[in-house]
Amino acid sequence: MKSYQKLLLANKSWAAEQAEEDPTFFTKMAEGQSPEFLWIGCADSRAPADKITGTDPGQIFVHRNVANLVINTDLNMLSVLQYAVEVLKVKHVMVVGHYGCGGVKASLTNSNLGLINKWIRNIKDVYVKYQDELDSIDDMAEKTDRLCELNVVEQVKNLIKTSIIQKAWKSENSPYVHGLILDLKSGHINQIMEVEPGDYSVINPIFKFDL
């Protein structure tokens, strides 16, 4: 049997199991979603949002890309963010990085990787911002992991720089913004940053809009 056929087979037994456990599971699922969380994570196959948080379908709205970046011209991410915040009214927006991230690793080299150079460029900018601290770390794995953390911090700031979050902070639905990091060696997720609704102290005032 081909490996992708195994996926479809596994799906059938999962669906049967769910229906047996809770006969209303799929009826409820088909009715709609009201997740409390937006997860902006890395596309890495080892960082699946629901599996590692023990959550069920319907609980987390997910956007994933290489190295969990929040780029202010990325229509895909911004559309997900706007929908999550304005329509689904999520209470928590989370940037979830992970140690040993391939995208972050690549950003610390001079390799020419083609199209993805343009994406990785954004992480190089984070490196330059914290170059003094990062260059003081000799061990390459340690340096990469520190950049993984700093990258999360900068992406959280990028979220707060969006008019989407700033507008949401003016509304009744005022989401928290979190920076988290997954340790693949232990499976644990640790919080490295939490921004309360309406707290602009982590960004330069020039990024705050008159709303």
- For the annotated catalytic residues, the residue numbers are 42, 44, 46, 98, 101
Report if residue 44 touches Co ion, rule: CB under 5 A. yes
- How do 92-98 and 60-65 pair as beta strands? unpaired
Assess contact for 162 and 169: CB atoms under 8 A. no
Residues 6+ apart with CB under 8 A from 83: 61
Assess contact for 99 and 46: CB atoms under 8 A. no
Q: CA–CA separation, 18 vs 37, rounded Å? A: 22
Q: Cβ closer to Co ion: 60 or 182?
A: 182
Number of residues that bind Co ion (CB under 5 A): 3
User: Interface with Co ion by CB under 5 A: which range of 84-92, 93-101, 126-134, 185-193?
Assistant: 93-101
Report if residue 149 touches Co ion, rule: CB under 5 A. no
Q: CA–CA separation, 196 vs 178, rounded Å? A: 9
Report if residue 93 touches Co ion, rule: CB under 5 A. no
Report if residue 42 touches Co ion, rule: CB under 5 A. yes
Q: Cβ closer to Co ion: 42 or 81?
A: 42
Q: Cβ closer to Co ion: 42 or 70?
A: 42
Instruction: Name the residues that contact Co ion, by CB under 5 A.
Output: 42, 44, 101
